Amino acid sequence: MHLLIPAAGSGRRMGSSRNKLLLPLLGQSVIAWTLRAAQAAASIEWIGIIGQPHDWQDFKQIVAELGLEGKVQFIQGGATRQASVYCGLQGLPADAKHVLIHDGARCLATPDLFERCGAMLEVCKGLIAAVPVKDTIKIVDPATQIIEQTPDRSNLWAAQTPQGFDVETLRHCHQEGRRLGWEVTDDAALFEQCGLPVKIVMGEDTNLKVTTPVDLTIAEFILKYRAELLAESQNP
Ligand code: CTP
Ligand code: MG
């Protein structure tokens, strides 16, 4: 399985002076946790990190510390996530048939989630990890701030990554997106706009996207909790 990790953002909503993926989280960087989960997923044999040149040095050091040099390639990203994934698709090895795309900022995804998404790609051409929404969602008129509609919550899912695709089909969808000027925030949306089916794989409630400072605090809490559970299971 080939894995692309979009990591070329700036982390504007984090309010930090550097890429949020390089911020510390329980003794490691955010992206190191993401890479560790990918490393522990046995089916992933190639990882493309899509980044900006000013982060190369830090990324390379993290990859070296994890002993991942043989598996990782660096690919220069673009101005938006969509542009970065497009660049990533150009950087895939020629023999790549399937690809998982996983945001560097989702540093709590488990190896099991990567494996379940990879397995599902054997039987479909497009999938995303997602979870049923817990909140009631409102559609709001941006001008008046008045609610227009309350969609039936039982049909609503919150999109996560990994998202997985047949490489040729996803390349085609990205090309269509560029040709027609579509602006989307995930790759599934390009598939959908091309009229192609995208399957849901049950995601994880803990698979949050580190976006604002409070997410770092929550992520630290979850990682500590996991470490405690592991320690308990090793010394019952
Ligand atoms: N990303 C990317 N290329 C971009 C923008 C984002 O590869 N030009 C990546 C980010 O590094 C992140 C993932 O896409 O891993 C999801 O994006 P997001 O959480 O929005 O990260 P940022 O764009 O860095 O954050 P912000 O939107 O707050 O600036
Ligand atoms: Mg962004």
pLDDT in tens, 112-141: 999 999 999 999 999 999 999 999 999 999
What is the C-alpha to C-alpha distance for residues 20 and 90, in angstroms, rounded to an integer?
25
pTM beyond cutoff 0.95: yes
pLDDT of residue 183: 96
Which residues have C-beta atoms less than 6 Å from ligand 1?
6-13, 20-21, 50, 77-81, 84, 103-105, 209, 211
Can you give the pLDDT at residue 214? 98
Q: Which atom of ligand 1 lies closest to the CA of 50?
A: 7
Query: What is the distance in A from the centroid of ligand 1 to the CA of 51?
Result: 10
Ligand 1, closest atom to CA 13?
Answer: 28
Q: Which residue has the tokens 């930090």?
A: 16
Q: Is residue 49 part of a domain?
A: yes
Atom of ligand 1 nearest to the CA of 211: 19
Cβ neighbours for 139, distance < 8 A, ≥ 6 positions apart: 147, 148, 149, 150, 151
Q: Which ligand is nearest to the CA of 9?
A: 1
For residue 194, being part of any structural domain is answered with no
Q: What is the pLDDT of residues 181-209, one digit of tens each?
A: 999 999 999 999 999 999 999 999 999 99
In a domain, 143, yes or no: no
Q: What is the C-alpha separation between 179 and 167, in angstroms, rounded?
A: 18
Establish if 148 belongs to a structural domain: no
Q: Residue range 87-91: average pLDDT? A: 98
Q: Give residue 86 CA to ligand 1 midpoint distance, Å.
A: 14
Give me the pLDDT at residue 235, please. 87
- Residue 198, domain member (yes or no): no
Calculate the alpha carbon distances from 157 to 19, 153, 195, 201 in Å: 28, 8, 19, 11
Q: Cβ of 172: how many Cβ atoms within 10 Å?
A: 15
Residue 193: inside a domain, yes or no?
no
Q: Is 142 within the bounds of a domain? A: no
- Report if residue 107 sits inside a domain: yes
12-18's contacts with Cβ under 8 Å and 24+ in sequence apart are 13/211, 13/212, 14/210, 14/211, 14/212, 14/213, 15/212, 15/213
CA distance 22 to 138: 34
Range of the domain at 112: 2-125+161-188+205-234
Rounded to whole angstroms, how far apart are CA atoms 5 and 102? 5
Helix (H, G, I), strand (E, B) or coil at 99: strand
CATH (domain of 53): 3.90.550.10
pLDDT band at 212 (very low <50, low <70, confident <90, very high): very high
Give me the number of domains the chain comprises.
Answer: 1
